[in-house]
C-alpha cells in the first residue's frame, strides 16, 4: 500500500492527480479503516497518483453544524480551507458522503472551491474507462445483493445511479428494498445522531432499516458511507444475522474483485 | 323581484370578495414577519418547478391512488371555475345561462364536460372521506390528525365539495325538467351528460316547485362557493393557492446544503485574522441572534411553507424518526409554525405591533425532544408535493438551542470538545489520523 501525503508531494515538487479526503471515520474507526484501505488498494492498482492530507486533515464540521454548533463548524471549515487552498487543491475524492456534501456544497460559500467527487462516482468513472479489471467477472458475480442509499449521497445530492452501476459492473443480482432511491430510509446516523443515544421510541432506526435489508433475502448489504456501514452492521447483529448477511462498502467489493 | 335578487347577489359577491381580501392581506403580512432570504438560481428553473411540481403535481404521483383521485378534484376545481364565470354574470345581470345562445350546441357539450368533472370530484371526495374516516389510512387518521380541528377541517373541506357538486347537478337536473315544461326564462339547451340521469327524481314536481328547487340550488351553490372561498385562509385547503408560489421559491441547490451563517463566519475570520476585523463597529452594536427561537427568526419562505401545508402527512410517513416511534413529526413542525404565526398575527392585530407574550415556537410549540430526533435525512423534504422544507425549520431551532441556550445533550458536548481538540468527533489523538496508512 502506497500512501503519500500532500506535504510529501510538495517536498518532491510534484502534484497528485487527486486528493483523497479520508474523513474522521475512515481515519479512526476500525471498520471504516478497512474501506479506506480498500479504496487505496484500488487507487494503487489503477495507478492513480493521489495524496492524503494526513495529520493536516480535520473534521469537516458536518456533525457540529447539524447539531447546531455553527461556531465550531466555521472554525473547522476555516482551518481545512486554509490547508486545502494552501496546497492549491483542485480535485478531491472522498469515501464519506457527509464529507462529500460539506466539501462540495458548503465550503464554496466560505472560500473553498474544489471539484469534489464521491468514491461511488469515482469508481463508476474508472469502470467506464476500463481501468478496473475484475478477475473472472468479480468476486460477487451472481450474488444476491441489496443496496442502501445513504441520505447524503442520495436525497442530499441526487446520486442514485453511480453506485448501482458499480454493482452492476460486478454482475451481482441487485434486489432493491421497497424504500430505495428517493424514498430510501435513513440508517439513523445523520444529523449528528451517530454521536448520541437515540430519542425514546419503539425501535431504533438502524434496526428498522437493517430488517428491511435482511428481508430482501440478500446476503450482502452494499453501502457507500462509513456511518451507514456501522449502523447497518449493528442492525444485522441485532437481528442475529451476522453469520449470513455481510455489510460491505462498494469500494471493498471492488477491491475484493480486482485481478491480482 | 328580479332586481332585488340582482342587488342581493351583488352585495353578497362584494362582501365575500372584501372579507377574503382582508384575510389574505393579513396572511401576507404574517408571512413577511419572517426574515428576508436570498433565492439564488435562474428563474427559468423556478418556473419549470411551478409547471412540474405545482401545476403538474409531479410528486403526487409517487402514490398512484391518491394521485389520481386528487387529480380529478384538482382538474374539476380548475375547469368548473370556468362555469363559475357564467354563474356570477347571471347573478349580476339577472340573466339565465348567459352563454348558451352564443355557444349553441357547444354549450351543451361544455356543460356535459363540467358535469362529468363534477361527478368525478364528488366520487373522489367520497372516497377521500372513506379513506380518512372508515378505512383510516394511517397518515390521515393518526398522530397529529387523530382529532380536533385538523380532523374537522379535513372533513369539512371534503363534505363541502360533495355538497357543492351535488347542488350543481341538482340545479341542472331541475333546469332540464323545466326546459321540458317550456317554462319561461329557462333556455332550451337540451339534456346534460350527468344530470339528465337524476332529472327523473324531480319530474313529478310542479313547475313552481321545480323553479324553487332550481333557484335554491343555484343560490346555495354560489353562496357555498363564496363561503368556501372565505374558509380557505383559515384552513389547510389554502394549499390550492400557495402551492404555486411555494414551488417557485423551492430551493434549487442540493438539498444537503445548509444555509451559511455569515455573522459567525466573520466572527471566526476576525478571530483568526484580526487585521480583517472592521474597526468602526460601535461598542453598543446589537449582538446578532443565532438560529430561530420564534417564527420571526425564521425566513419568510419557512412561514410561506407553513401556510402552504395541507397536512397530508407524506413527510411524517417517510420520517425515520417518526417511523421508529420518536416524537418528531415533520407535519407537526409545519402545523405548529402556522399556529404560532397566526397567534403572533392576532397579537399584532390587537396591539398594532407585536407585544411579548412570553411564548415562542421553540418549547411552547415544538419540544426539544422532537428536534433532537431528526437525522437530517431530507426524507420529509423529498416527500412533500408542494415543496415544503420542515428540515430547515428544525435545523434553525437546533442552532438556537445550541448557541443561544447552550441546551445540548452531554454526548454532543463531548463530540464538540473532541472535534475542537482532536479534530475528530471521537477522543482520538490527531497524530494517529494517518496511522491506518502505516499498519
CB pair distance less than 8 Å for B256 and A157: yes
Q: Could you tell me the CATH number of the domain that includes residue A70?
A: 3.40.50
In B248-285, which positions are buried (b, 16+ CB within 10 angstroms) versus exposed (e)?
A: bbbbeebbbbbebbeebbebbbeeeeeeeeeeeeeeee
Answer yes or no: do B78 and B190 share one domain. yes
* H or E segment and range at residue B71: helix B64-93
Closest partner residue to A24 among B253, B260, B424, by Cβ?
A: B424
Is the pLDDT higher at B161 or at B287? B161
Answer yes or no: do B244 and B346 share one domain. no
Encode pLDDT of A150-163 as tens digits: 999 999 999 999 99
Answer yes or no: do A45 and A149 share one domain. no
User: CB within 8 A of B204, min separation 6: which ones?
Assistant: none
The strand pairing partners of B299, in sequence order, are B35
- Residue A215's pLDDT is 98
Show the domain range for B25.
Answer: 2-31+63-248
Distances (CA, A) of B318 to A75, B97, B142, B176, B329: 34, 49, 14, 50, 10
The verdict on residue B255 lying in a domain is: no
Measured CA to CA, the distance from residue A29 to residue A23 in angstroms comes to 10
- Count structural domains, chain A: 2
User: CB within 8 A of A172, min separation 6: which ones?
Assistant: A138, A140, A141, A142, A143, A144, A145, A220
Answer yes or no: do B322 and B399 share one domain. yes
Query: What predicted TM-score, i.e. pTM, was given to this entire model?
Result: 0.95
Comparing alpha-carbon positions, the chain A residue that sits nearest to B420 is A72
* H or E segment and range at residue A5: strand A4-5
Answer yes or no: do B192 and B334 share one domain. no
Taking one residue from A and the other from B, the number of pairs with CB-CB distance under 8 angstroms is 213
Measured CA to CA, the distance from residue A175 to residue A180 in angstroms comes to 10
Answer yes or no: do A113 and A168 share one domain. no
Show the domain range for A228.
Answer: 134-257
Taking alpha carbons only, the member of A73, A250, A70, A247 closest to residue A169 is A250
Encode pLDDT of A99-110 as tens digits: 999 999 999 999
The verdict on residue A97 lying in a domain is: yes
Q: Per-residue pLDDT averaged across B42-55, rounded?
A: 94
On the question of pLDDT at B409 being above 90, the answer is yes
pLDDT category of residue A71 using cuts at 50, 70 and 90: very high
Is residue B235 a contact partner of residue B161, using CB atoms and an 8 Å limit?
no
Q: In chain B, which residues have their Cβ closer than 8 Å to the Cβ of A61?
A: 419
- Residue B205's pLDDT is 93
- Residue B185's pLDDT is 83
Answer yes or no: do A118 and A149 share one domain. no
Answer yes or no: do B112 and B226 share one domain. yes
pLDDT category of residue A127 using cuts at 50, 70 and 90: very high
- Residue B25's pLDDT is 97
Give the 3-state secondary structure of residue B366.
strand
CB pair distance less than 8 Å for B436 and A75: no
Answer yes or no: do B124 and B206 share one domain. yes
Answer yes or no: do B71 and B197 share one domain. yes
On the question of pLDDT at B136 being above 90, the answer is yes
Answer yes or no: do A152 and A78 share one domain. no
Answer yes or no: do A218 and A246 share one domain. yes
Distance from CA of A142 to the nearest CA of B (A): 31
Answer yes or no: do A8 and A28 share one domain. yes
Encode pLDDT of B295-316 as tens digits: 999 999 999 999 999 999 999 9
Answer yes or no: do B318 and B244 share one domain. no
Encode pLDDT of B143-175 as tens digits: 898 889 999 999 999 999 999 999 999 999 999
On the question of pLDDT at B115 being above 90, the answer is yes
CB atoms inside a 10 Å sphere around CB B9: 20
The verdict on residue B422 lying in a domain is: yes
Q: In chain A, which residues have their Cβ closer than 8 Å to the Cβ of B366?
A: none
Amino acid at each position: 500500500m502506497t500512501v503519500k501525503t500532500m506535504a510529501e508531494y510538495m517536498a518532491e515538487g510534484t502534484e497528485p492527480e487527486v486528493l483523497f479526503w479520508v474523513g474522521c471515520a475512515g481515519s479512526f474507526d476500525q471498520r471504516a479503516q478497512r474501506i479506506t484501505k480498500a479504496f487505496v488498494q484500488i487507487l494503487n492498482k489503477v495507478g492513480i497518483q493521489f495524496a492524503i492530507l494526513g495529520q493536516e486533515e480535520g473534521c469537516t464540521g458536518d456533525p457540529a453544524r447539524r447539531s447546531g454548533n455553527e461556531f465550531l463548524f466555521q472554525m473547522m471549515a476555516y482551518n481545512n480551507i486554509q490547508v486545502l487552498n494552501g496546497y492549491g487543491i483542485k480535485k478531491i475524492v472522498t469515501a464519506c458522503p457527509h464529507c462529500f456534501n460539506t466539501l462540495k456544497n458548503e465550503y464554496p460559500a466560505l472560500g473553498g472551491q474544489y471539484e469534489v467527487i464521491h468514491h461511488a462516482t469515482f469508481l463508476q468513472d474508472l469502470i467506464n474507462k476500463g481501468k478496473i479489471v475484475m478477475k473472472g467477472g468479480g468476486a460477487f458475480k451472481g450474488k444476491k445483493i441489496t443496496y442502501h442509499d445513504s441520505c447524503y449521497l442520495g436525497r442530499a445530492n441526487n446520486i442514485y445511479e453511480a453506485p448501482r452501476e458499480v454493482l452492476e459492473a460486478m454482475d451481482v443480482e441487485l434486489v432493491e428494498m421497497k424504500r430505495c432511491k428517493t424514498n430510501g430510509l435513513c440508517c439513523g446516523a445523520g444529523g449528528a445522531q451517530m454521536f448520541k443515544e437515540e430519542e425514546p421510541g419503539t425501535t431504533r432506526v438502524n434496526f428498522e432499516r437493517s430488517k428491511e435489508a435482511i428481508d430482501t433475502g440478500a446476503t450482502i448489504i452494499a453501502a457507500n458511507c462509513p456511518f451507514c456501514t456501522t449502523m447497518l452492521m449493528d442492525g444485522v447483529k441485532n437481528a442475529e444475522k451476522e453469520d449470513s448477511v455481510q455489510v460491505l462498502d462498494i469500494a471493498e467489493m471492488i477491491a475484493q474483485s480486482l485481478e491480482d | 323581484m328580479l332586481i332585488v335578487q340582482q342587488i342581493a347577489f351583488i352585495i353578497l359577491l362584494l362582501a365575500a370578495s372584501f372579507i377574503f381580501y382582508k384575510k389574505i392581506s393579513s396572511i401576507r403580512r404574517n408571512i413577511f414577519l419572517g426574515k428576508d432570504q436570498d433565492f439564488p438560481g435562474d428563474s427559468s428553473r423556478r418556473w419549470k418547478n411551478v409547471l412540474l411540481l405545482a401545476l403538474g403535481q409531479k410528486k403526487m404521483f409517487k402514490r398512484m391512488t391518491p394521485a389520481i383521485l386528487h387529480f380529478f378534484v384538482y382538474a374539476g376545481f380548475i375547469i368548473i371555475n370556468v362555469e363559475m364565470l357564467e354563474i356570477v354574470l347571471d347573478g349580476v345581470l339577472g340573466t339565465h345561462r348567459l352563454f348558451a345562445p352564443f355557444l349553441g350546441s357547444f354549450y351543451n357539450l361544455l356543460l356535459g364536460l363540467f358535469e362529468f368533472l363534477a361527478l368525478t370530484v364528488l366520487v373522489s371526495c367520497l372516497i377521500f372521506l372513506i379513506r380518512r374516516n372508515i378505512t383510516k389510512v394511517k397518515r390521515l387518521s393518526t398522530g397529529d390528525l387523530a382529532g380536533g380541528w385538523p380532523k374537522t377541517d379535513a372533513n369539512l373541506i371534503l363534505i363541502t365539495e360533495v355538497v357543492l357538486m351535488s347542488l350543481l347537478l341538482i340545479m341542472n337536473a331541475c333546469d332540464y325538467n323545466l326546459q321540458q315544461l317550456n317554462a319561461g326564462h329557462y333556455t332550451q339547451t337540451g339534456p346534460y351528460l350527468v344530470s339528465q340521469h337524476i332529472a327523473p327524481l324531480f319530474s313529478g314536481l310542479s313547475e313552481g316547485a321545480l323553479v324553487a328547487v332550481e333557484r335554491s340550488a343555484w343560490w346555495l351553490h354560489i353562496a357555498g362557493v363564496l363561503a368556501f372561498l372565505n374558509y380557505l385562509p383559515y384552513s389547510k385547503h389554502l394549499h390550492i393557492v400557495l402551492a404555486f408560489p411555494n414551488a417557485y421559491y423551492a430551493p434549487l441547490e442540493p438539498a444537503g446544503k445548509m444555509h451559511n451563517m455569515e455573522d459567525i463566519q466573520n466572527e471566526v475570520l476576525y478571530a483568526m485574522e484580526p487585521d480583517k476585523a472592521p474597526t468602526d463597529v460601535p461598542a453598543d452594536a446589537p449582538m446578532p441572534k443565532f438560529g430561530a427561537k420564534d417564527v420571526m427568526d425564521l425566513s419568510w419562505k419557512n412561514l410561506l411553507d407553513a401556510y402552504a401545508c395541507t397536512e397530508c402527512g407524506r413527510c411524517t410517513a417517510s420520517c425515520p424518526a417518526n417511523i421508529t416511534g420518536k416524537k418528531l413529526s415533520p407535519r407537526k413542525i409545519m402545523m405548529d409554525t402556522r399556529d404560532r404565526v397566526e397567534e403572533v398575527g392576532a397579537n399584532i392585530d390587537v396591539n398594532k405591533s407585536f407585544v411579548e407574550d412570553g411564548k415562542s415556537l421553540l418549547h411552547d410549540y415544538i419540544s426539544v425532544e422532537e428536534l433532537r430526533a431528526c437525522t437530517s435525512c431530507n426524507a420529509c423534504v423529498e416527500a412533500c408535493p408542494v415543496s415544503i422544507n420542515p428540515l430547515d425549520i428544525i435545523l434553525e431551532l437546533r442552532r438556537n438551542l445550541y448557541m443561544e441556550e447552550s441546551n445540548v445533550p452531554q454526548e454532543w458536548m463531548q463530540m464538540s470538545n473532541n472535534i475542537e481538540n482532536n479534530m475528530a468527533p471521537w477522543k482520538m489523538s490527531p497524530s494517529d489520523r494517518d496511522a491506518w496508512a502505516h499498519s
